[in-house]
Amino acid sequence: MNPSSLAPTVVSKLNQQLNHELGAAHGYLAISLWCEGQNLKGFAAFFDNQAKEERAHAEKLTRHLINRGGTPEIEALPAPKQNFKTLLEVALLAQAMEQANTRGINEVYEAALTAKDYPVQVLMHWFINEQVEEEAWTAEMIDRIRSASCAGSLSDLDRHIGRLLGGSKE
Ligand code: FEO
């Protein structure tokens, strides 16, 4: 396909978002390892899966750029946060990460609307729907951690967190 069919503004936003998704993968990997170190194996598995999902999201954007003659530009990633005081702090960070991701996806969509780029608009519909689910699990996780007021209930939550929050979608 003709490379000129992608507007520079759309290429720029797609590249920004694909790096954002890779950054989220990096962040969730760090969170997963922290959970593993706390013997929270259920949370560790959940966040490891999230890291894989974010990587898959980045690949969707990369593939779209390549299929349309664009050039994906992979940037350096900042070191993710790796130390936490509590599991609640982890969940609050996950929520902030997903909210930031939603803002990035909205920016891609707005650029695609302005450029009348229909394929990117359709691609972004998938991401926009995905973000509704992503923000929902972060909110549920925060509620569930706040309700797990003793060590026993936290241990139960750890055992069931993957099933409770729905596991992998992608
Ligand atoms: Fe790529 Fe957590 O959304």
How does pLDDT run across 65-99, given as a tens digit for each residue?
Answer: 999 999 999 999 999 999 999 999 999 999 999 99
Q: Kindly give the distance from the C-alpha atom of residue 131 to the centroid of ligand 1, in angstroms, as a whole number.
A: 6
Provide the pLDDT confidence category of residue 3 given band limits of 50, 70 and 90: very low
| CA 49 – CA 43 distance, rounded (Å) | 10
For the segment 43-51, the average pLDDT, to the nearest whole number, is: 98
Sequence length of the chain is 170
Residue 15 lies in a domain: yes
Q: What is the CATH number of the domain that holds 119?
A: 1.20.1260.10
Shortest-distance atom of ligand 1 to CA 98? 2
Q: What is the CA radius of gyration of the chain?
A: 17
Contact 34, 84 (CB under 8 A): yes
Q: Kindly give the distance from the C-alpha atom of residue 165 to the centroid of ligand 1, in angstroms, as a whole number.
A: 15
Q: What is the pLDDT of residues 124-149, one digit of tens each?
A: 999 999 999 999 999 999 999 999 98
For 22-38, b where at least 16 C-beta lie within 10 A, e where not — what string?
Answer: bbbbbbbbbbbbbbeeb
Q: State the residue for tokens 């396909």.
A: 1
Shortest-distance atom of ligand 1 to CA 101? 3
Residue type, 60: K
Residue 138: its pLDDT value, please?
98
Residue 103 lies in a domain: yes
Shortest-distance atom of ligand 1 to CA 50? 2
Residue 59 lies in a domain: yes
Residue 4: its pLDDT value, please?
47
Query: Whole-number mean pLDDT of the chain?
Result: 94
Residue 95 lies in a domain: yes
Report residues whose beta carbon is within 6 angstroms of any ligand 1 atom: 21, 24, 54, 57, 98, 101, 130, 134
Q: State the residue for tokens 């690949």.
A: 59
Residue 170 lies in a domain: no
Q: Kindly give the distance from the C-alpha atom of residue 45 to the centroid of ligand 1, in angstroms, as a whole number.
A: 16
Contact 161, 48 (CB under 8 A): no
* Domain count of the fold of the chain: 1
CA-proximal residue: ligand 1, atom 1 (nearest):
54
Shortest-distance atom of ligand 1 to CA 54? 1
Q: Kindly give the distance from the C-alpha atom of residue 60 to the centroid of ligand 1, in angstroms, as a whole number.
A: 12
Contact 23, 70 (CB under 8 A): no
Q: What is the pLDDT of residues 16-42, one digit of tens each?
A: 999 999 999 999 999 999 999 999 999
Range of the domain at 35: 3-164
Q: Which two tokens stand for residue 136?
A: 């929902």
| CA 121 – CA 81 distance, rounded (Å) | 32
Residue 167: its pLDDT value, please?
60
Angle at alpha carbon of residue 136, lines to 12 and 43, rounded to 5°: 95
Residue 1: its pLDDT value, please?
47
For the segment 101-112, the average pLDDT, to the nearest whole number, is: 98
Residue 151: its pLDDT value, please?
83
